[in-house]
Amino acid sequence: MKQFINARLVLPDRVLSEGTLRFNDDKIDALGSKSDLSFNPSIETIDLEGKYLFPGFVEAHVHGGLGADFMDLTPEAFRTVCRCHARHGTTTMTPTSTVGSPEQILEFLKLTRQIMNEPQTGSRVVGAHLYGPYFALEAVGCHPKNVRAPLPSDYIPVLEYTDAIRTATVAPELPSAEVFTRECLQRGIRMNAGHSFATFEQMEEAVRWGIRHVDHLFCAMSDRGKLRALQNFPNRGGVMEATLYFDELTTEVIADGKHLSDALLRLAYKIKGPNRLALVTDSNRAVDMPDGEYLFGPPDAQIRTLKKEGVGLTLDGKNLASSVVGLDHCFRTMLTATQAPLHDVARCVTLTPARILGLEEECGSLIAGKRADFVVMDDAMQVQDVWIGGKKIDAGISRV
């Protein structure tokens, strides 16, 4: 048994000052104020001296870091990315693929399964985010261009790895998207819409199928202006408008301060609220690396990007190509942009993404019985320590 004392406990509905939290092995045992939970001198004690104690951050959309990309397709690449993001406070993550060949996607899932069953040396892997190849070509972004429709010949081998897939993304307008969505949902895979040029009506249909989340709001998606180029009148809504409209849909924003302005972050927060909005990094391999050129996705695809001015760019500098920061940076950015209460913004990196991934009974909040995953932060919201499964990790806390 261990205990934190003199902590500011970040709970879903408030921050509890002078808090105490006890944990036994990998589970939270009890927590409360100093008056509710008296000091026990026989327990190993960590005095936080007024620092904040957050639940571990949950990341649902991440590609790489510290020079590695999950699509490098090696165990060490997976471990490197997990170590990188753990030092930014991420204790739970879904490794996220890119567009790739059928063989590459299957190898990615095989490695996800392997890493899920290894002892943690960084962020805990809870299953893959199958992200590509089922994208619309018009919204492919910086991904390799070999996108395709989810035909049974392509996805049936993928579904042999159902135990290793937490969530999957599809552009709803693609042929067979409905069949693929329903097949995944029957197997317990949570379904997202993303990299899509769907109309509002097509998104409405997707909601009826059971799609409940939309990837990176405002990025790589249709909207009224983009669809206007395909049909002069009447003006039509797209994925963006549908995401904001349907209460059934949760979504996420890349809050790196580069992809979206403060005004767009405020808009997303106001409309969706902290219970339906998650923060993600969507980061590439350049996290915690110097400025320069980096490959995105499978090395053989030779998609070269540039880390410059705190963001990933295409080589010509004209388009965004993933973020290059950790989730702690996104949390600080969102806190500053919205000026919302700290505990509400914290939900966007803890309990809300946990719910989106179906993990809210295991992690995402400081509640007895949940995982002993913690992030210790100072008044400047800089990560001081990270604990995963009741163990303090030694990853070298980042200041990037």
- The tens digit of pLDDT for each residue in 78-93 reads 999 999 999 999 999 9
Residue 70 in domain: yes
Mean pLDDT of 179-207: 98
Residue 262's Cα: distance from chain center in Å? 19
Spatial distance between the Cα atoms of 52 and 214, rounded to a whole number of angstroms: 31
**Structure tokens belonging to residue 265:** 């972050």
pLDDT at 118 over 90: yes
Whole-angstrom CA distances from 232 to 224, 227, 272 are 11, 9, 30
Is residue 273 domain-shared with residue 315, that is, in the same domain?
A: yes
pLDDT greater than 50 at residue 163:
yes
As beta bridge partners, residue 178 has none
Q: What are phi and psi of 65, to 5 degrees?
A: 170, 155
What CATH number is attached to the domain comprising 23? Answer: 2.30.40.10
Q: Are residues 101 and 246 in the same domain?
A: yes
Q: Are residues 65 and 177 in the same domain?
A: yes
Say if residue 87 is in the same domain as residue 137.
yes
CATH number at 323 reads: 3.20.20.140
Token representation of residue 342:
């700290």
Structural contact between residues 119 and 79, judged by C-beta atoms closer than 8 angstroms? no
Amino acid at 259: H
Domain for residue 371, yes or no? yes
What is the C-alpha to C-alpha distance for residues 399 and 369, in angstroms, rounded to an integer?
A: 31
The tokens for 394 are 């030694």
Q: What is the pTM of this model?
A: 0.96
Dihedral (C-alpha) 59, 63, 66, 70: value to the nearest 10 degrees?
Answer: 120
Is residue 400 domain-resident?
A: no
Asked if residue 20 is part of any domain, the answer here is: yes
Nearest to 313 by CA among 334, 344, 292: 292
Q: Is 195 annotated as a binding residue?
A: yes
- Which positions are catalytic? 282
Q: What is the spatial distance between Cα 218 and Cα 226, in angstroms, rounded to a whole number?
A: 12
CA distances from 294 to 60, 170, 281, 291, 324 (A): 22, 26, 17, 9, 11
Residue 40 has pLDDT above 90, yes or no: no
Q: 5: part of which helix (H) or strand (E)?
A: strand 2-10
**Same-domain check for residues 12 and 161:** no
244 and 95 belong to one structural domain:
yes
Total tally of structural domains belonging to the chain: 2
Same domain, 266 and 250: yes
Of the pLDDT bands very low, low, confident and very high (cuts 50, 70, 90), residue 396 is: low
User: CA 164, 165, 168 angle in degrees (round to 5)?
Assistant: 165
Count the neighbouring beta carbons within 10 Å of the beta carbon of residue 225.
10
35 & 78 share domain: no
Expressed as residue numbers, the domain containing 378 is: 2-54+367-392
pLDDT in tens, 229-260: 988 899 999 999 999 999 999 999 999 999 99
Angle subtended by helix axes 200-209 and 177-186, to nearest 10: 30
* 143 annotated among ligand-binding-site residues: no
As a whole number of angstroms, the distance between CA 283 and CA 57 comes to 15
With respect to residue 251, please indicate whether it lies within any of the assigned structural domains: yes
| Mean pLDDT of the region 33-47 | 90
Q: Is the pLDDT of residue 399 over 60?
A: no
Whether residue 341 lies inside any domain: the answer is yes
Question: What is the pLDDT, as a whole number, of residue 398?
Answer: 53
Residues 133 and 224 in one domain: yes
Determine the Cα–Cα distance for residues 319 and 259; give it in Å rounded to an integer.
10
Kindly state whether residues 321 and 217 are assigned to the same domain: yes
121: pLDDT confidence band, cut at 50, 70 and 90?
A: confident
Answer whether residue 148 is part of any domain: yes
Do 45 and 177 reside in the same domain of the chain?
no
DSSP 74: -
For the chain, give the number of residues.
400
Q: Is the separation of the CB atoms in 69 and 269 below 8 Å?
A: no
* Amino acid at position 14, single letter: R
The H or E element spanning position 384 is strand 383-388
Strand pairing class (250-254; 277-280): parallel
Q: CA-to-CA distance for 281 and 328, rounded, in angstroms? A: 9
Q: Would you place residue 400 in the very low, low, confident or very high pLDDT band (cuts 50, 70, 90)?
A: very low
Instruction: Give the model's pLDDT for residue 395.
Output: 61
User: pLDDT digits over 274-318, tens only?
Assistant: 999 999 999 999 999 999 999 999 999 999 999 999 999 999 999
The per-residue pLDDT for 394 is: 81
Please check whether residue 397 lies inside any domain of the structure.
Answer: no
- Are the CB atoms for 349 and 357 separated by under 8 Å? no
Out of 82-86, 175-179, 232-236, 368-372, pick the least confident. 232-236
pLDDT at 120: 84
127 neighbors 112 (Cβ within 8 angstroms): yes
The amino acid at residue 351 is L
Q: What is the DSSP letter of 306?
A: E
Q: Is 318 exposed, middle or buried (0-12, 13-18, 19+ CB in 10 A)?
A: exposed
Q: Are 251 and 103 in a shared domain? A: yes
- CB neighbour class for 257 (10 Å; exposed up to 12, middle 13-18, buried from 19): buried
